Amino acid sequence: MSKRSVPGQKFPAVRGRGANNAGRGSAFQQVYHGSEAQTSGAHQSSCNSSDLSMLDWPSLAGHDQSKSEKGRQPPLVPDSVWDTLSWHPSSSASKHTGSRDDSTSGDGPPLATPATKVDEASPRKFKTAPRPRRNYQSTAAITEEVGPDAHHCEASPEKGSRTSMAPQCAQLTAQLEAEGSRLTALVALRGLVWRFSRDKVGCRVVQLALSVAPRWHGDELVRELHGHVREAIDSPHGNYVIQHVVEMMPVAHSAFVAEEICGIAAAMARHRYGCRAIIRLLEHSSTEAGTIYLVEELLKEAESLTRHSFGHFVLQAVLEHGLPCHRHSIAVALHGQSGIPDAMLLNAMNRHGSTVFETAMVHCSPEDKQSICHGLLGEPEVVLHLAKSQFGRFVLKSLLGYPGEYSQAAVHVLQEASPELQGKSSRQIIDFLEKNALVVTMQ
């Protein structure tokens, strides 16, 4: 018996042996795949109850359901098939026009038994609604240490404003670069400074305006940032505007920056953007009252800031631009807490702390330098630990370059232990001793 299929569709051949297998293939193709041709009496006689029990009801019902969803007409089922089922249509099978999913209608077969098997064998797949995208806001160290009173800002202005802001920023930039139209651009920028400062393109317009504006115009623009310093520093774009205010404006007009971050100085020193603002204040207004008060506040946590990834940059700026009393406070903090053994050695071997030691050996007073050399070069074991450390060797080089009795003793310790110092880090110390003529003469 030949196998028939619906035109335009390919179905897998039903493999088997004997005449029964051929009957199964006929029932599979004619009844449950919607053959449009009228079935013959021979085909009807071949569809018995054993043939129906061998069919894969879940897959057949799922295929029929997909066809009905596409708007195709259901198959014409022979009477012999309905004789084997528990349900008989009240009308002729040729008059059935309902869908298989329409189980409650009176003009079509519900096929209850196959439908039950479909639900048990193959679970239905539901389309879930797309998940909404999460709006992650920037998290600063200020929130963790200060609390909910700290102000934060969004990375950009309200939704959809960046697209409309770009043409305006381009127009203002062109006007600010042309000398004849600068005044017009400065007037148009009034009331928009804080909004532009939080935008990726707008913050550059504000910085350009502060660079080319007359003093009285610049002061008027800067007033719009009063009360927003903490929020601006927390912004990846606004922090550049605050740095530019400190760099370009007179000290009297930029003093509000230090005043608004007082009380959270240590948290700002640990902040990714806050450390930049403090460094700019130290570079341009280190002798102002607000900056001095800010430095004294953060130096209370100088020992922990020494090993912080951002805080050590602030301490280096204090050593370079701060007052002598501030440098002395950092030199004392480098010794570490008195209750922790080898605290000074641990600071010197730290990735970030080692840079503070190197800066201290350049800017600190001779007394403080001598104290650091005594703490790190006074014991031979500490010298060897520094020579073998990845970051401690940089501190050891700066200590050996400072003339004194401690550096001479350290050179003798290194020469005696040179057979042990054959590692990658340790070998650089030996090469340093050989190339540095000053150290060689102190042997």
* pLDDT band, very low/low/confident/very high, at 120 (cuts 50, 70, 90): very low
DSSP codes, 365-409: -HHHHHHHHHHHHSSHHHHHHHHHSTTHHHHHHHHHTS-SHHHHH
- Give Cα separations from 111 to 68, 85, 192 (angstroms): 15, 9, 70
In one-letter notation, the amino acid at residue 292 is I
- Give Cα separations from 221 to 186, 252, 328, 331 (angstroms): 9, 15, 39, 41
The average pLDDT across 125-141 equals 42
Quote the pLDDT of residue 336: 86
Of 105-119, 243-257, 395-409, least confident by mean pLDDT is 105-119
Longest dimension (CA), the chain: 118
395 in Cβ contact with 372 (< 8 Å): no
What gap in Å lies between CA 278 and CA 122, rounded to an integer? Answer: 65
More confident residue, 407 or 427: 407
264 in Cβ contact with 278 (< 8 Å): no
- Averaged confidence pLDDT in the chain: 73
Quote the pLDDT of residue 337: 78
More confident residue, 180 or 79: 180
Of 203-217, 271-285, 393-407, least confident by mean pLDDT is 393-407
3-state secondary structure of 312: helix
Of 26-30, 134-138, 412-416, least confident by mean pLDDT is 134-138
Is the pLDDT at 324 greater than 80? The verdict is yes
Quote the pLDDT of residue 429: 73
Quote the pLDDT of residue 166: 87
The average pLDDT across 274-290 equals 95
Is the pLDDT at 127 greater than 80? The verdict is no
Instruction: Map out the domains of the chain as residue ranges.
Output: 19-121, 365-443
* pLDDT band, very low/low/confident/very high, at 2 (cuts 50, 70, 90): very low
More confident residue, 344 or 4: 344
- CB neighbours of 16 closer than 8 A, spacing ≥ 6? 22, 24, 25
More confident residue, 48 or 396: 396
Phi, psi of 328, rounded to the nearest 5 degrees: -65, -40
Q: Name the residue with tokens 């940059």.
A: 313
237 in Cβ contact with 200 (< 8 Å): yes
- CB neighbours of 257 closer than 8 A, spacing ≥ 6? 229, 242, 245, 246, 277, 281
Tell me the pLDDT tens digit for each residue of 83-110. 555 555 554 444 444 444 444 444 444 4
Quote the pLDDT of residue 280: 96
Is the pLDDT at 400 greater than 80? The verdict is yes
Q: What b/e readout covers 101-118, taking b as 16+ CB neighbours within 10 angstroms?
A: beeeeeebbbbeebbebb
Q: What b/e readout covers 73-95, taking b as 16+ CB neighbours within 10 angstroms?
A: ebbbbbebbeeeeeeeeeeebee
